[in-house]
Chains A and B, each alone.
Chain A
Amino acid sequence: MSERLTRFFASRWGIILAGAAIGLLAPLLQKAGNPPNMGICVACFERDIAGALGLHRAAAVQYIRPEIIAFVLGSLIAALLFKEFKPRAGSAPIVRFFLGMFAMIGALAFLGCPWRALLRLAGGDLNAILGLAGLVTGIAVGVMFLKAGYNLGRAQKTHTAVGWVMPLFMVSLLVLLILRPQFTKDGAIFFSKTGPGSLHALILISLAVGLVIGFLAQRTRFCTMGSIRDVILMGDTHLISGVGALLVVAFLANLVLGQFKLGFSPQPVAHSSHLWNFLGMSLAGLAFALAGGCPGRQLFLAGEGDGDAGVFVIGMIVGAGFSHNFALAGTPDSVVDGVLKVGGLTTYGQWAVIIGLVLCLLIGFTMRSKKAGEV
């Protein structure tokens, strides 16, 4: 039975089911209170968690997002049930940390992870096209490195407890979310009173949706980066059929829910600085490709015991801290007195994206071997 289920989830219908589930549940989460065109965004939600913990002080984006917690725990449950929980670590963790950091800086320049890029497009936000084009470009560069022998070396099997670190970290976040302690006067834990961070569904709804998605994604290996990489690298359309399902179902759901609005500007929590939407996501796409997974996939891998994926996630959370503390994140377009004010990146933000791209290129050029799999 377990083996038959495994084969179903590994099939094309399995991955389509996972993509369709995300495509349906994300707009519903938006209806239930999550921010517009942000029913789910792994990068944004990790950024909100960083804010809640006080790693940055952008008052509008601080909330411990239950979805992130539940993605890891849903994946953990699936991995335990199907005996796939495999504690492993040791494949260049420090590199993965910095890849996570700069992936976040790139994603926040665009204002979203690949999931949100798809959800933004499904909500009519045409800026997402620039983001997705950047994502494909970044991944294509990553594929060139992969073909030239890029790899971060082998992970090793390790102590069971290592695999539990990230799930337990997520449980700790859940405790902080429920107890809402305030450690110092005017200090953490922070919860936004206005802005995207203040918009959220009920905790139980977010947790339930997150668990379902975490479970399905662990079983099917849903990955946006992998979907594009596999098409470019070997013409394999398996994963991308799930991504297609996400896009189509989210589009239909937005139409039905009255959440579709076509155009470039102003779109919710988005800017129309085209070059930086493109370059920001190029950086993110390249970093995801070098690390072997999109932000969602890294959470699901962390849930099934992959310590290196956990390090990437922590890198992303720390990256969100830097991103807002150093004013690197994109500023959304706004309408002031009836006049559209185009947002985008500060000069610091632009430099951060360029530095990130250079760093990722250096990693790609220097970390390869003649014999694939060897270091």
Chain B
Amino acid sequence: MVTVDARGLSCPQPVMLAKQAIDKGEFPIEVLVDTVTSRENVRRLAQRLGLKVQAEPSGDGFKVTLDK
């Protein structure tokens, strides 16, 4: 499990960090974000790349899990 901590970062950092992790090719990837905006942006990126996405509340924000 690769963890990307994108909490507190504003657009487009969370998506860029997620993309970097995806490009490395190690799955599953867990992206931590703290706004719904970031959650939806990461979700959209993953869907565009044909990945499986699951989002759940975690702490003050969300955990978005990406897998092949």
Contacts and interface: CB of A to CB of B under 8 A. Distances in A.
B19 A372 contact: no
B54 interface: no
Contact of B16 (A10, A154, A157, A372): A372
B34 to A, nearest CB: 7
A293 B11 contact: yes
Contact of A229 (B12, B17, B43, B48): B12
Contacts of A151: 9, 13
Nearest to B10: A292
Contacts of B1: none
Interface string A274-294: 000000000000000000110
Contact of B35 (A86, A223, A234, A292): A86
A60 to B, nearest CB: 36
Interface string A1-24: 000001000100000000000000
A193 to B, nearest CB: 41
Interface of B: 5-13, 15-17, 19-20, 34-37, 40, 43-45, 48, 60
A86 to B, nearest CB: 6
Contacts of A229: 12
Interface residues of A, number: 28
A233 B37 CA distance: 18
A146 B34 CA distance: 20
B45 A154 contact: no
A84 B60 CA distance: 11
B60 A157 contact: yes
A62 B11 CA distance: 33
A156 interface: yes
B12 A226 contact: yes
A181 interface: no
B36 A84 contact: yes
